[in-house]
Amino acid sequence: MLRTEFWDILYVVHATEGQVRLSDCESGLSGPKSERSGQVVGRRKGGIGIALVTGALLVGVSACGGGSGKAGGSDQAGGNDAKTSGKPGASASASPTKPAGPPMLLETITPQAGATVGVAMPISVIFTNPVAAKARAAVEKHMKVSASQPVAGAWHWFGDKRADWRPKTYWPSGTKVKIDADMTGVSNGNGRYGVRSYTHSFTIGDDVRADVSVNCHTMKVTRNGQAVRTLSINAGSPQYPTWNGTMAVIDKQEKVHMTSCSVGISCTKGSANYYDLTLPWDVHLTQSGTYVHYSTGDPNPGSGSARGSHGCVHLSMSDAKWFYGQVKQGDPVTITGSPRAKAPADNGYAAFNLGWDQWLAGSASGEGTTAAL
């Protein structure tokens, strides 16, 4: 997966109950750095660029919509039931027999244990240390995915620390899902061995989808196959076009602090592209910063408006609030008609931007069917 080799830094500003992030509109950078509780954390190449924060949610990066927020609903991988400690955590418990080398641990598992997510949500596992290519088939086989109904799917590696499992097509709504990652004694191919097991269970909720037409300035929202509403939108300008493709919602925040300077668009007050705003009803789509949200600079989006964003999708205030209340992590938002390419599959949770053959090309063990749950 091609990625830029540099990233901008976002600064976290804590507000009352929600965490407000300082960031910006989509500038075309596909992998900014993330930050944790005021401490800058560099993004790792090939990974999702996320770090554990209080509440066991992950920090993401934003651009068009501004500073990212918690990058959605991950738990620190913390042993059986993977219960959230809220801290980057306690050391792994020892295995019954002494491992042959230092421990191989899982840093995060997404979705969060007990979560209800959308039909496009992958299972995403982040390892603390690199997994060698020669060891990936064995590692995949020890990460068993079970479901309440049979679902075909496969693992796919993004670099050497992140593996995602996605179904061949969207999850059926109502499916109960469980991942059992029994890493005890499993080698990462680099001298480390697993010392514990991890279990996460979650549920696939209503099938909520949003289809955005850049050219028609519309967003059509459906629930369980039934049309709900069509909203007026504006997407990115020709200078800062919006990503095409399908992006599963990473997370959402009621307010996000966005600045043009934080993503390198403009640091000069008074320039046409300068802004420093706190904006409401922000639904996070990519780690590089795409959001669906309301913008004070584009209060009445639609075909009659000449305004374009810095890569985000703009809604009116009332529509943004309504949409915020409809969607959850993992709901697919599909954008068409932009001159920009599809978002990279690891830019957040955009797994369905890869065709099935492309997805299998990144798997060590190939397609399989979920175990019975």
**Cα–Cα distance measured from residue 228 to residue 219, given in angstroms and rounded to the nearest whole number:** 11
Token duo for residue 79? 């042993």
Provide the 3-class DSSP secondary structure of residue 337: coil
Provide the 3-class DSSP secondary structure of residue 213: strand
Strand partners, 332: 248
Token duo for residue 30? 């596909």
The rounded radius of gyration (Å) of the Cα atoms in the chain is 20
**Cα–Cα distance measured from residue 31 to residue 289, given in angstroms and rounded to the nearest whole number:** 9
Q: So which residues are the catalytic ones?
A: 293, 312
Q: What share of the chain is helix, strand, coil (3-state, %, to 5)?
A: 10, 35, 55
**Cα–Cα distance measured from residue 62 to residue 156, given in angstroms and rounded to the nearest whole number:** 24
* Type of residue at 46: G
Token duo for residue 362? 């990144």
Give the Å distances, CA to CA, from 87 to 188, 269, 296: 25, 39, 36
